[in-house]
Amino acid sequence: MEKAAAEATEKGTNVAVKGEAAIRPEFLTTKEKFHGFIDSEWRGSKGEKASGQDTKEVGGEEPEAKKLKLDTEEKSTQGKPDGKRLRGQNKSRPHTKPTTYDEKRLCLSVIQDNRECPFGDKCHFEHDVAQYMACKPADIGQSCYLYDTFGKCTYGLSCRFAKAHTTSDFKTMENTDLVKTHDRNPVKNSLSKDLQNRLRKRSVAFKKSEEYLKTLSNNRNKTAQQGNGEACAAEVSAAPAGGEQLKCTEAETQAILDKQPPVKTVGPLTDVDIIKLRFCEKKQVDFKDKLYLAPLTTCGNLPFRRVCKRFGVDITCGEMAMCTNLLQGQQSEWALLKRHESEDLFGVQVEGCFPDTMTRCAELINNNTDVDFVDINSGCPIELVYKKGGGCGLMTRTRKFEQIVKGMNYVLDVPLTVKIRTGVQEKSNVAHKLIPEMKNWGVSMITLHGRSREQRYTKLADWDYISSCSKLANPVPLFGNGDILSYEDAMKARETGVSGLMIARGALIKPWIFTEIKESRHWDISSSERLDILKDFTNFGLEHWGCDTRGVEKTRTFMLEWLSFMCRYIPVGLLERVPQKINERPPYYMGRNYLETLMASQNVGDWVRISEMLLGPVPKNFIFLPKHKANSYK
């Protein structure tokens, strides 16, 4: 027994060195015991599996561990039947549209006060209410969040909580007092049909953008003629008074005009002149000592940001939006710009690689949305974005980067910020060269992620480098980003002299991190409190995406994406050494109760079970594969 205990202790020490979190020995278990306990308890509480299907059919098997690079011989035996190699998890993910979960959908004309359908017999949706209710999936719960909060559910009979606000003769009820209280829309920045049509017809005017782009083309012409200018100067000195002297005098006059001060010194000064040209007149934002929730693709949606606002985050930002898609009026891309009224300091992040599209996009956002700042994504490592010159690619295209920044600054009435990485290659940092230049370009704030594109999320963020860059950036505020998962990490990061902190994965793993930082404590949050957070997200999701079958399944999908990060959290009371580090892999352990154990599972099927506790059973044809596969433990 003593020998076995000694071996276990030695093994535990080795595991800790290899990157696994140090958990108290009494909570540690094996993979087989862990999943056996979860499955037996789930069957015991439900009588059978909630969906009536095997876990593998519902959500797929547990994600495999990260594989080592194969030899050339092994590579040739793996891949597609046509010999092509499989690349990227996202390319093989199942993409099931939420609309496929509804066998029959009720026509909007029936939902909205039984008005006459404009499509008549050609309409593909259901008009017979009794027939629709007979085949509609069972209600999820007894109370509807939208009805209880706003006094009216716009989804009517198609709502998955319809019994809460439907009479026996299939009429939708209203609570007039609540309706009067909530007579405004809490979400801003929606794309209007009129603007969408004008964007599609390319009839939107971009006056300020055209002014800037005209100066760009003029500058190119001047550069091209620069060689001829020197020859002209020689001719001027040699020639007597005459035509040639006059031509060069005009050129000199134009050069003087180009160097005119930003504010007129002759003639009346109008408001238009000041607003157009003076940077000091722009709206200013105080970024100092703020906590900034990173613009997280997929997971940084509006409901998740609302959850983080409850825990004390100061600055929120929409997910990365492609500027070309915004200019084309794509509804799905404009949805990324939506802002909830609780987001008091909110910005949007755009990605692009050309000055013309980025400048026009900035003007479009400036004129049609309510934002506090606009952020340029020059740190995205995704291959698709990088190859066309966007994201991290901008860091290697300094001239284009400068033109984009100056153009966007020219058309914006709000501050312009930039998010960058240390560089593209792992051992070749370029951020320290870019930052002094960006100060001259007119950037209001810089965020630096302490890794290169090549690193992605392997190895720790380089906070020493972030510290040196923050000194270079002064007086422009610089935010640091990377590996913050506790208030202790935040305190160490602040010692580097950064103006504020951006938190990304740390907020996904534990959104209450903002409370921990502001209160300087480790919060041993209970599993029931964590379930309440997921309940809040569910309610916010039903409000944002809808409470019909389509909205419910969309909410479920985004919740499962979030759970693929949240399952990495290890409760404080189980740790041998506090705090948990972001690069430490959680081993198999038993929680202090069943729910805590379930939330620790890395199995997709167990995340589906958690979603079923809040959103009811999944549809028969439901499939989910997580978008993100962690390799941060390398």
Measured distance CA(17)–CA(13) in Å, rounded: 6
Asked whether residue 82 is domain-assigned, the answer is: no
What pLDDT shows up at residue 193? Answer: 94
Domain extent for 115: 108-184
Asked whether residue 369 is domain-assigned, the answer is: no
Higher pLDDT, 447 or 634: 447
Token pair 């479920």: residue? 556
Which residue, among 449, 607, 511, has the nearest Cα to 312 in the 3D structure? Answer: 511
| 123 in catalytic set | no
What pLDDT shows up at residue 34? Answer: 93
Q: Distance of alpha carbon 463 from its chain centroid, rounded?
A: 23
- Condensed to tens digits (0 to 9), the pLDDT of residues 260-271 reads 444 445 555 554
Asked whether residue 461 is domain-assigned, the answer is: no
Q: Give 19's pLDDT tier (boundaries 50, 70, 90).
A: confident
Asked whether residue 215 is domain-assigned, the answer is: no
Q: Which range has the worst mean pLDDT, 192-206, 240-254, 563-577?
A: 240-254
Q: What is the mean pLDDT of residues 463-481?
A: 94
What pLDDT shows up at residue 172? Answer: 87
Asked whether residue 427 is domain-assigned, the answer is: no
Asked whether residue 191 is domain-assigned, the answer is: no
Asked if residues 339 and 318 have their Cβ atoms less than 8 Å apart, the reply is yes
Q: What is the mean pLDDT of residues 237-255?
A: 43
Residue 326 scores a pLDDT above 60: yes
Measured distance CA(176)–CA(180) in Å, rounded: 6
Measured distance CA(606)–CA(338) in Å, rounded: 31
Asked if residues 198 and 206 have their Cβ atoms less than 8 Å apart, the reply is no
Asked whether residue 227 is domain-assigned, the answer is: no
- The total number of structural domains that make up the chain: 1
Query: Of residues 380, 469, 547, 567, which has the active-site annotation?
Result: 380
Asked whether residue 174 is domain-assigned, the answer is: yes
Measured distance CA(350)–CA(409) in Å, rounded: 14
Token pair of 148, please?
A: 């209880």
Asked if residues 128 and 109 have their Cβ atoms less than 8 Å apart, the reply is no
- Condensed to tens digits (0 to 9), the pLDDT of residues 290-303 reads 999 999 988 999 99
What pLDDT shows up at residue 198? Answer: 95
What pLDDT shows up at residue 323? Answer: 95
Q: Give 529's pLDDT tier (boundaries 50, 70, 90).
A: very high
Residue 361 scores a pLDDT above 90: yes
What pLDDT shows up at residue 629? Answer: 58
